[in-house]
Amino acid sequence: MNTTDRLVVAVDGPSGSGKSSVSREAARRLGAAYLDTGAMYRAVTLACLDAGLDLTDQDAVAAFIPGSEVTVSTDPAQPQVVRIAGREVTEAIREPFVSERVSAVATNPRAREILVGLQRDVIASHRRIVAEGRDITTVVAPDADARVLLTASEEARLRRRGLQLGGTQSEESLAAQVTGRDRKDSALVNFTTAADGVVTLDSSDLDFEQTIQALLDIVAAAVQGEGQAPQAQPQEDQHEPEQREPRQAQA
Ligand SMILES: Nc1ncnc2c1ncn2[C@@H]1O[C@H](COP(=O)(O)OP(=O)(O)O)[C@@H](O)[C@H]1O
Ligand SMILES: Nc1ccn([C@H]2C[C@H](O)[C@@H](COP(=O)(O)OP(=O)(O)O)O2)c(=O)n1
């Protein structure tokens, strides 16, 4: 493999396992784009709330998505930018107000179908990409060159999320945001056990750098298995840093 070869890496896992941070840095080192599919679920949730939609009305939510103009940047070397119809919502989608409601979209089968289609379009539009979420290894990109389930113990995931939020959260609130949300989200998607052909990477006892290295090793081994030589060096992805999801791709 050299950085001109096509490469798709799929990473799934529960909340706080390190999917976003580890995938982003691995993408940067691989000269690949980075797709945070969770940001898409969050942005759609916020767009629906802004439009005054009832999130439990699954048909209305699904019908709303194609016109919502959600965009998520894909350059891992730049800070993430998320927009709804041109308006920047990068920070707003991380607010507890959204985190507490996003599972309503994540458990809406029609909404998932539309978002999966959009995510496949983004993946197809990049020569090299690392995509992460809950169903990338199984539904969005089951043919990815490398498929990884990134896990960590509940204790490690709660600790990491607590540190990430600056120690501001009560134990109860953290549990609701991490394990509570995972419980809701797993109604339609299994992201706790690896599907056939998916490599489990348990980061409980690994630090951040060790986890990135372990992921890059899995990618290198997978690509070698496909008959290419591994290489992990920084290189800018050739595509636009910000990717607009094609509206015609929506159901
Ligand atoms: N192996 C690791 N060891 C220690 N901290 C980690 C590790 N992996 C990720 N982190 C940190 O844990 C926090 C949660 O990671 P994040 O990537 O947001 O997880 P996820 O996307 O799975 O919810 C971040 O602050 C991140 O820097
Ligand atoms: N491929 C995906 C990605 C995210 N989701 C859902 C699950 C989560 O509740 C939300 C937000 O995802 P995100 O990755 O930002 O979640 P974390 O806060 O990092 O745990 O979207 C999903 O159902 N499928």
pLDDT per residue rounded down to tens, the chain (251 residues): 566 689 999 999 999 999 999 999 999 999 999 999 999 999 999 999 999 999 999 999 999 999 999 999 999 999 999 999 999 999 999 998 999 999 999 999 999 999 999 999 999 999 999 999 999 999 999 999 999 999 999 999 999 999 998 988 899 988 988 999 999 999 999 999 999 999 999 999 999 999 999 999 999 999 998 876 555 554 444 444 344 443 322 22
User: What's the 62 CA to ligand 1 centre distance in angstroms?
Assistant: 31
**Which atom of ligand 1 lies at the shortest distance from residue 203's CA?**
1
Distance 248 CA to ligand 1 centre (A): 35
- Three-state DSSP at 36 gives strand
Q: What gap in Å lies between CA 95 and CA 152, rounded to an integer?
A: 24
107-143 burial, b if ≥16 CB within 10 A, otherwise e?
Answer: bbeebbebbbbbbeebbebbbbbbbbbbbbbbbbbee
- The bound ligand whose nearest atom lies closest to the alpha carbon of 177 is 2
For residue 4, count CB atoms less than 10 angstroms from its CB and return exposed for 0-12, middle for 13-18, buried for 19 or more: exposed
Q: Which residue matches tokens 């791709």?
A: 249
The residues that bridge with 147 in the sheet, in sequence order, are: 10
**By alpha-carbon position, which residue is closest to atom 11 of ligand 2?**
38
Q: Which helix (H) or strand (E) holds 242?
A: strand 242-244
Residues with Cβ within 8 Å of 227's Cβ and at least 6 positions away in sequence, in order, are none
pLDDT of res. 226: 81
- Tell me: is residue 13 an annotated ligand-binding position: yes
Give, using CA atoms, the residue closest to atom 24 of ligand 1.
Answer: 164
Fold of 7-243: Rossmann fold (3.40.50)
Residue type, 227: G
ipTM topping 0.95: yes
Q: Mutation test of ligand 1: which of 36, 93, 174, 208 has the most ligand atoms closer than 8 Å to its C-beta? A: 208
Give the C-alpha separation, 3 to 128, whole Å.
8
Percent of the chain with pLDDT over 90: 82
Q: Is 138 in the pocket of ligand 1 (CB under 6 A)?
A: no
DSSP characters over 96-137: HHHHTTHHHHHT-HHHHHHHHHHHHHHHHT-SEEEEEESSII
Closest atom of ligand 2 to CA, residue 189: 23
- pLDDT tens digit string along 63-73? 999 999 999 99
Residue 80: HSE in the Cβ half-sphere, 13 Å Cα cutoff:
22
**N residues, the chain:** 251
The answer to whether the CB of 85 falls within 8 A of the CB of 68 is yes
Residue 201: in which H helix or E strand, if any?
strand 199-202
Task: Enter the pTM of the model.
Answer: 0.91
Coil vs helix vs strand at 40: helix
Domain extent listing, the chain = 7-243
